[in-house]
Amino acid sequence: MAMATVHPAGRQDYDRLTGTLEAGWHGVRGIAIVGEAGIGKTYLADATARVAAELGWTVAATTAVEHERSSSFAALAGPLAQALGASLPDLASDDPRCSSITRRHRLYDVIGSTLSDGSGDLLMVIDDLHWADPDSQRLICSLLQRPMERKILIAVVYRRALMLEADQRATLHMLERATKITITPRRLTRRESADLLGLPDGPQVQRMHQAGNGNPRYLLALARPEELTALVQREMALLTDRSSTVLQASALLGASFDSSLLPEITGLDQRTVDEAIDELLSHDLLEAMHLRRLRFSKPAFRRGVLATMPRATRRTLHAAAATELTRREASPTTIAPHVERVARHGDVAAVDVLRSAADIARWQDPRSAARWLCTASELVPGQESLQVAHASVLMTLGRLSEAQQALPHASLRGGGILNAHLRVLQSRPVHDVPNVVEPGIRLFDLVEVELLLGRYKSASQRLPALSELPPFVPNALQVAASLCLGERLAAEEAMARTGILLRTTTDADLAPYIGSIVWAGLGALHLDRLTIALEAAERGLAIIDAVGNELYRAPLLCLLSWAAPSPEDATATMAQARTAARLVGSPLYATLTHASPADLFSAAGIFCVREKPPASSALTRRELAVAELVADGATNRQIATALFLSERTVERHLSRIFTKLDISTRSSLAALVGARGTQWPLPSGRSGAAGPAIRAVGSPTAR
């Protein structure tokens, strides 16, 4: 890690090391710098050596290498020569007499006395001590326990996992008893990762931080793929053949996986696999989760293993995984990643697995669903149902032009993309699908497309068929259909229900129906319910960030812009909406991003004037639930799990809570909750529904 100054993540450790150099002590002291590969051990040791040299210390440093482990004292020959001011050929030789216990201890005494009689302060740094020969390791332990007349600091740098091999356990225990200070460099936070990479703290840094798990060397390697490959190859060279095989099979099974699959996939017996897993755990490459589930400690390392794996090995392991998972009747979404790698042309069974997996994953992971359907279409060319399904998923992803080209014949492609999508939905019987959730989703799609095409009456007539969907969905569509048909009273009643249901429906239930959130937001704007419009836009964008359904990003950003609290926020958000519309390639959305609420509502005679926001203490029910969990000490992740939200949605709720209550810390929020208990005012309006933040001037209700 080449950094000009000490990185903030290592500042505390650096201060401890330099403080030891400057402290007034006498004799010999030992410092151990211990940690996983790439965590910054060597950097800290080098920084300490530079400071010692500036303070006038004599510095003797070396790095042990694996191929010299068979040569007695090879690791210490160089630094001892520096410290003693003379060459020591006998120490680097393979003299068999050095194996004698008597001669060895006599040699330790001579070296210890010579070091003690020297002048000035001495710093000895031995990096990668785990690769040092046994005689060098024993000599270090002996020196650390000797009384010295001179100020000597011995810093040893090692990976504890590699010292736990059978022939080094005793040495490790002696080192741990003899060293006075142990430094364990920590992993970087996301902000520290951004500083290290020289990038703004945004989505790219977040992805790299998660992939590298805060390890500085892996973070830097991610920015240069060839370095990641070399890093993985170096780590795998330290493993036994059996552990390398188990590691490769683990990488194919995923970032986290069931270790009970490994014997069947690798062909190794259970005991051999268990021994290999123990080795991988000791090297900090895997981490135990619960029962027999394991995960990669650094996702970037898994990526590197996959990149360096021979093609034939990957294919063999994928085939074995697909066979074993099929035998265990695993979910199609678990089998599909392996089947798509090994299926051959005309493999109908593989096509069935891929189609079933795509039907299940379409709304939670549409990118994977699109890839699986594309593969299935290539395995069995000309099958219209697969092409239609592929086009429908591409439509969900917002890749409209690709969706139109994926349709099997010109009769489906003609008449514009929305009409084409309507034909896609009508080209296959609604109940002719393997996934029981799909019929309701397809009916929702039909209603939404009919609304977009102006077929309001037909859309309204289909709404009773959506009764099995989450109640928010038909109510949101009812708001839109009623407004389009001029039935304002029915729209008001549906909006009252929609505002409550928006806060009580989970993200998982809303994910397949993000379009309903758009219709709810537009209806809320039309009916002067700006707070609900803002909540709808933020909720929809959080779900899109989680599942990747880009089709609705542009209209949701438009909603967020129209409901923004300041002109500056509105302008910036609308610019994002125009970018999203261009990526989708929809003329309809492009037009929408150049409109305004006044343009949309002018035909209805509604003009909006912003009023003062709700009282600072008026939290919504969802915000109150978040506040109470914060007071209980829950993290954002725990809150998201408890309330079935994404972490990003929790962050948005906390931001609004802090603004409303004029506080800036979680501890302040916890204190407020503790002081008020359950006596928190809810917003104005119906129970649990946000009151209007704008009033209509010139609308029927205002008159």
Model confidence over 258-276: pLDDT tens digits?
999 999 999 999 999 999 9
Query: How do beta strands 293-296 and 256-258 pair?
Result: antiparallel
- 663 touches 672 (CB < 8 A): yes
Tokens of 232: 């993985």
Token pair 């099995």 in the structure block, residue? 468
Model confidence over 392-444: pLDDT tens digits?
788 777 676 777 777 766 555 554 455 555 555 555 444 444 443 456 677 78
Phi, psi for 628 (deg, rounded to 5): -65, -35
**Of residues 353 and 365, more confidently modeled:** 353
Model confidence over 272-320: pLDDT tens digits?
999 999 989 888 889 888 778 898 988 888 988 998 899 999 999 999 9
169, 232: one domain? no
159, 291: one domain? no
481, 587: one domain? yes
Residue 692, domain member (yes or no): no
Q: What is the pTM of this model?
A: 0.55
Mean pLDDT, residues 601-626: 54
325, 394: one domain? no
Phi, psi for 31 (deg, rounded to 5): -125, 130
Tokens of 439: 């019929």
26, 165: one domain? yes
Total structural domains within the chain: 5
Phi, psi for 502 (deg, rounded to 5): -60, -35
Average pLDDT for the chain:
77
Model confidence over 25-53: pLDDT tens digits?
778 888 899 988 888 888 888 888 888 88
d(CA 477, CA 653): 25
Across the beta sheet with 28-34, the strand order is 58-63, 122-127, 152-158, 28-34, 181-183
Strand partners, 697: 607
479, 571: one domain? yes
> Which pLDDT score, from 0 to 100, does residue 677 have?
54
308, 343: one domain? no
Strand partners, 157: 33
- CA-to-CA dists, residue 466 to 442, 443, 446, 461, angstroms: 10, 7, 11, 10
> Which pLDDT score, from 0 to 100, does residue 246 have?
95
d(CA 472, CA 489): 18
What Rg, from alpha-carbon coordinates, does the chain have?
33
Question: Please, what's the b/e burial string for 460-487 (b: 16 or more CB within 10 A of its CB; e: otherwise)?
Answer: bebbebbeebbbbbbbbbbbbbbbbeee
Query: How do beta strands 286-288 and 293-296 pair?
Result: antiparallel
The DSSP H or E segment spanning 110 is: helix 101-117
SS3 500: helix
538, 554: one domain? yes
Residue 118, domain member (yes or no): yes
Tokens of 97: 């007499």
Residue 700, domain member (yes or no): no
100, 156: one domain? yes
626, 587: one domain? no
Mean pLDDT, residues 329-357: 91
* Last residue within a domain, chosen from 282, 311, 330: 330
d(CA 404, CA 399): 9
Tokens of 543: 């779900």
**CATH number of the domain within which 296 lies:** 1.10.10
Q: Which residues contact 641 (CB under 8 A, 6 or more apart)?
A: none
Looking at 118-156, list the stretches that DSSP marks H as alpha helix, in order from N- to C-terminal side.
Answer: 134-144
Q: What is the DSSP string of 219-287?
A: HHHHTSHHHHHHHHHHHHHTS-HHHHHHHHHHHHH-SEEEGGGHHHHH---HHHHHHHHHHHHHTTSEE
585, 637: one domain? no
d(CA 221, CA 194): 14
Residue 256, domain member (yes or no): yes
**CATH number of the domain within which 390 lies:** 1.25.40
Q: What is the DSSP string of 177-224?
A: HH-SEEE-PPPPPHHHHHHHHT--SSHHHHHHHHHHTT-HHHHHHHTS
Mean pLDDT, residues 615-627: 72
* Last residue within a domain, chosen from 330, 353, 373: 330
**Of residues 598 and 68, more confidently modeled:** 68
User: Among 400, 414, 466, which Cα is nearest to 439's?
Assistant: 466
Most confident of 72-86, 174-188, 368-382: 368-382
SS3 40: coil
**CATH number of the domain within which 668 lies:** 1.10.10.10
* Last residue within a domain, chosen from 183, 198, 216: 183
d(CA 423, CA 391): 11
Looking at 437-593, list the stretches that DSSP marks H as alpha helix, in order from N- to C-terminal side.
Answer: 438-452, 456-462, 472-484, 488-504, 507-510, 514-526, 530-547, 553-562, 567-584, 587-592
pLDDT at 120 over 80: yes
Tokens of 597: 């609420």
DSSP structure class, residue 615: P
DSSP structure class, residue 131: G
Structural domain span for residue 420: 334-426
**Of residues 511 and 601, more confidently modeled:** 511
SS3 492: helix
625, 561: one domain? no
**CATH number of the domain within which 57 lies:** 3.40.50.300
Model confidence at 18, pLDDT cuts 50, 70, 90, reads confident
Give the CB-side neighbour count of residue 676, counting CA atoms within 13 A: 18
Residue 197, domain member (yes or no): no
Q: Which residues contact 60 (CB under 8 A, 6 or more apart)?
A: 78, 79, 80, 82, 83, 122, 123, 124, 125
Residue 34, domain member (yes or no): yes
**Taking the C-alpha atoms of 313, 316, 319 and 324 in order, what is their torsion angle to the nearest 10 degrees?**
-100
Model confidence over 518-534: pLDDT tens digits?
889 888 888 878 888 88
Q: Which residues contact 563 (CB under 8 A, 6 or more apart)?
A: 521, 525, 530, 533, 534, 537
d(CA 512, CA 443): 12
Residue 648, domain member (yes or no): yes
Residue 443, domain member (yes or no): no
Q: Exposed, middle or buried: residue 156 (CB in 10 Å: 0-12, 13-18, 19+)?
A: buried
d(CA 50, CA 44): 10
Query: How do beta strands 181-183 and 28-34 pair?
Result: parallel
Q: Exposed, middle or buried: residue 417 (CB in 10 Å: 0-12, 13-18, 19+)?
A: middle
